[in-house]
Structure 1
Amino acid sequence: MRYNPVNGKIIDELKTIVGETNVVLDPEKLAVYGRDEVSEADWQHRPEVVVKPESAEQIAAIMKLANREMVPVTPRGAGTGLSAGAVPMLGGIVLSVERMNKILELDRENLFMVVEPGVTTGEVQKTAREAGYLYAGDPCSADSSFIGGNVAENAGGNKAVKYGTTSRHVYGMEVVLPTGEITTLGGKCVKDVTGYDLVHLMTGSEGTLGIVTKVFLKLLPLPQYVADLLVPFDDMQKAINIVPVIMTHGGIIPTSVEFMDSLSIKAAEMYLNQKLPYSDAAAYVIIEVDGSSERQVEEDYETIGNLCLKNGGLEVFVADNKSTQDRIWKARKCYAEALRVISPVYCMEDIVVPTNRIPQALEEINRIAAKYAVKIPCAGHAGDGNIHATLLRENRDEQTWHEVKEKVLDEMYRAVYALGGNLSGEHGIGAKRKEALARFMDPVQLNMIRSIKKALDPNLILNPGKIVDVE
């Protein structure tokens, strides 16, 4: 597909649509919008212009202009993604939703919150909590990521074991289609099989099928009691083997089951500049339970703690108040930032396997790391099979790093698919994993994705170069 450059006429029209102050042309400022959290230069590309619309109508006008002039548009939230999904790999316009940052409604009768896409996930959580409710979506980047980005990626996070990924909490959305039409899909009905499930087609579509301008989020009653457990193990396999034991025992459904390997623990300790308990352990498992009954929560964490001790846990640290809970979670949530200090260039993968295959997946990752003499710290969501395996470049030169990385990724992906897994649990395909998806996904499914893309975006204007190549 051939696209046209953004010329002066287009810029003047963009200024008419969104106002001159909402059009960015300064090269230094444009550079900020030319990358996300992927560290490698291959996945960075500066846009020709950035626009900051404030309404669905402005976005619709931008999309109609882009279709008329054949200019690509890349929608962008906070830029916290890990797949180059919001990077304008083909240039053109970056459409930032940062100005659309209002919480529009808190519906106490129906337990819904209606928000614009530029509201941070942390603000959604805080507003819900202060009103006595729970928004259960909880990615580690909650304080900085936008809810619109969470919807685009179908973000998972720490509470997905019990409460599911973002899609479980999205019941409706206003969306601008690639050709500029505005429509509202779903809404506040908790049951709806009227036609295809277009809400969940858009959720996780990575900004390739539409730009979400309003989201209807389902809230839950706020659990009155929460407790967190930190359990160190002297062996990674013992740590991971405890996961199915917990998940299948007596009907207990933990809110979170997270893990960190020894490299991740050491990185977090260095980054936080504080001594962590059992920091020489081979692995941490972090478990959260919640509920409306203090007694039930106590019984659950005591049962889980005893299971851990019987199956190789060195000790069980229990936190049942906000201060100590924050201390337990701080190490897990700073994992990515800590690794960046060790190796500013890295490749964070987001593989996912059936939960009972995590031990085999980690064995394969360790084997591959040893074979290529590369460090691959691992952490992630043990309760749902999602492993964040991060290849560290460290002191390798550019050519050697690229060669080693490609070999490691190919072997890792093959091992994951042999275990019944997939490329990404929550970070998405974007531009970064597009070629790998073409190699490993069933061609029938690839053609389904291409057909949907062409049907909704006939000019291939919206976020081209992501997920699949259509032409």
Structure 2
Amino acid sequence: MTNYKPVTEEVLEELRKAVGAEHVKNDAETLERYKTDEEPDAHYHHLPEVVVAPGSTEEVAAVMKIANKYLVPVTPRSAGTSVSCGAIPVFGGIVLLMERMNKIIKLDTDAMYMEVEAGALTSDIQAKANEAGLLYAGDPCSADSCMIGGNIATNAGGNKAVRYGTTRHQVYSIEVVTPTGEIAELGNRLKKCSTGYCLDQLVMGSEGTLGIITKATLKLLPLAPYRLDILAVFTEVQKAVDLVPALVKAGLNPTSVEFMDNGFVRAASDYAEQRLPHYEDGSYVIVTVETFNEDELDMKMEQLDEICTACGATDVVEADERVWKVRRSCLEGSKALSKVSTSDDLVVPIDKIAVCLNHLMEVSKQFDFECMCLAHAGDGNLHFNCLKMDMTDEEWEKQLAEFHKICYAYVYSLGGRLSGEHGIGAKKIDALAAYCDPVEMSIMKTIKRAMDPNNILNPGKLIRA
């Protein structure tokens, strides 16, 4: 492990010269603000020693060179919406904010691409594309507050991933500052490329451990003019999750298939102050289809109704904004029940989602915490939210560790993995080491050491180099 050095006055002075004194802050209030991201459990919190906000790629590179010179760790931070402790400064040092680099540089409607800085809000990118009659298909659930650089660094998923893929599928190329402070352009605006290693895909999803993304060229798609949202209500969880393979086999190609168990239905409905059908006993599946033809939309509407009914839906209704308001309120709804909770982000093959959900919810009954399940069901991504409730800190940590030991082993036995979209961060770093193939882990460590010889960039995340 690197023997990191403290941020001295000498380091501060060099940082001030690099980015401007007004963008280097080490007052107590600022440091306190950046000790965590979305993680509420103080057990994971760490204070940085200084917070730096560069305004250009060159300034980011300068900060990284200073960090290497003085052996000071750097934690890059976008909007801080990580739920895996991805933006927490585990070893103190520098928190590097990307919020000043927030421009949408170029929108080309003919070639259908957009050039953006890493600090641009995902919601602004979506809106800008929509205004031009185009679609940026990346759509993480935190889209209203997250930044595109963080989305790319974590390969964020979201509601539309079942049809369009995750964030890495929406990106042509990225500008990156390496851990040693060099600037590189990775990827190209090409349909295909077999020229050398695919380094852009390596950095995307590396959670800020292999480079700091400063700019990106994003793919845009034609915006479908017709859309239908269906809410299928089930009083039996098994029937709800059985709907997913039925939709896939029918060839409907849905944009999203979202599942909420009754725990989430009630918590999110209460938070959103909405009461929808079967609040007391229903699990929800929200299905979205988009088409370029009105007749095709009508046909798919009929198919959806028939398939949902055949799978045992109690009600099948057109979903309006109230339904999506409830869906968007899931995280805040669970926080209202317990300030301390954990959201697992497990992913399994689509055909295993029903057996995985049922088994792990049954296992959760052995423990004192409350467990609720939310899923991007169309791509096999399960979120198990465990709520601390009336437990001591010691008992909570003990029982959660026991539950995770069972969960992770079971998920891997199904051919699944620890994360579908949230990333490993600091929260699952030991779990990944335990369950990852040893050769795969060795390769990742070799890459990290080669690119970041001083282990300066986002240490304590993803792997222990």
TM over 0.5: yes
Amino acid corresponding to residue 457 of structure 1 in structure 2: D
Partner of 1:200: 201
Partner of 1:39: 40
Kept after mapping to 1: 8 A contact 2:369/2:396: no
Displacement of 1:364 after TM fit? 1.8
Identity %: 47
Amino acid corresponding to residue 32 of structure 2 in structure 1: A
Q: Deviations over 1:240-289 (max 9, x none)?
A: 0011001111x210000010000000001110122122212331000000
Kept after mapping to 2: 8 A contact 1:351/1:425: yes
Total equivalences in the alignment: 464
Whether 2:426 is the aligned partner of 1:425: answer: no
Question: Secondary structure in 2 aligned to 1:377?
Answer: strand
Amino acid corresponding to residue 464 of structure 1 in structure 2: P
Partner of 1:444: 439
- Single out whichever of 275-284 and 388-397 deviates more from structure 2: 275-284
Amino acid corresponding to residue 453 of structure 1 in structure 2: K
Displacement of 1:190 after TM fit? 2.2
Partner of 2:318: 318
Distance 2:323 2:273 in 1: 15
**Structure 2: 5+ residue runs without aligned partners?**
none
Distance 2:274 2:377 in 1: 25
Kept after mapping to 1: 8 A contact 2:105/2:115: yes
Displacement of 1:54 after TM fit? 0.6
Partner of 2:223: 222
Amino acid corresponding to residue 266 of structure 1 in structure 2: R
Displacement of 1:362 after TM fit? 1.2
Distance 2:44 2:381 in 1: 23
Structure 2 residue aligned with 1:358, among 340, 353, 358?
353
Partner of 2:289: 289
Whether 2:376 is the aligned partner of 1:381: answer: yes
Kept after mapping to 2: 8 A contact 1:431/1:467: yes
Distance 1:454 1:171 in 2: 26
Amino acid corresponding to residue 257 of structure 1 in structure 2: V
Question: Secondary structure in 2 aligned to 1:371?
Answer: coil
After superposition, where does 1:382-397 map in structure 2 within 5 Å?
A: 382-397=377-392
Question: Secondary structure in 2 aligned to 1:372?
Answer: coil
Moved over 2 A (4+): none
Partner of 1:190: 191
Partner of 1:300: 300
Distance 1:212 1:298 in 2: 42
Amino acid corresponding to residue 114 of structure 1 in structure 2: E
Amino acid corresponding to residue 223 of structure 2 in structure 1: L
Partner of 1:272: 272
Distance 2:28 2:111 in 1: 46
TM-score when normalising by structure 1: 0.97
Distance 2:433 2:132 in 1: 45
Displacement of 1:467 after TM fit? 0.8
Distance 1:58 1:465 in 2: 24
Amino acid corresponding to residue 382 of structure 2 in structure 1: I
After superposition, where does 1:403-422 map in structure 2 within 5 Å?
A: 403-422=398-417
Displacement of 1:361 after TM fit? 0.8
Kept after mapping to 1: 8 A contact 2:274/2:322: no
Displacement of 1:40 after TM fit? 1.2
Partner of 2:56: 55
Displacement of 1:187 after TM fit? 2.8
Question: Secondary structure in 1 aligned to 2:365?
Answer: helix
**CA RMSD in angstroms, aligned pairs only:** 0.9
**Structure 1: 5+ residue runs without aligned partners?**
none
Distance 2:379 2:267 in 1: 24
Kept after mapping to 2: 8 A contact 1:154/1:165: yes
Displacement of 1:107 after TM fit? 1.3
Partner of 1:26: 27
Partner of 1:368: 363
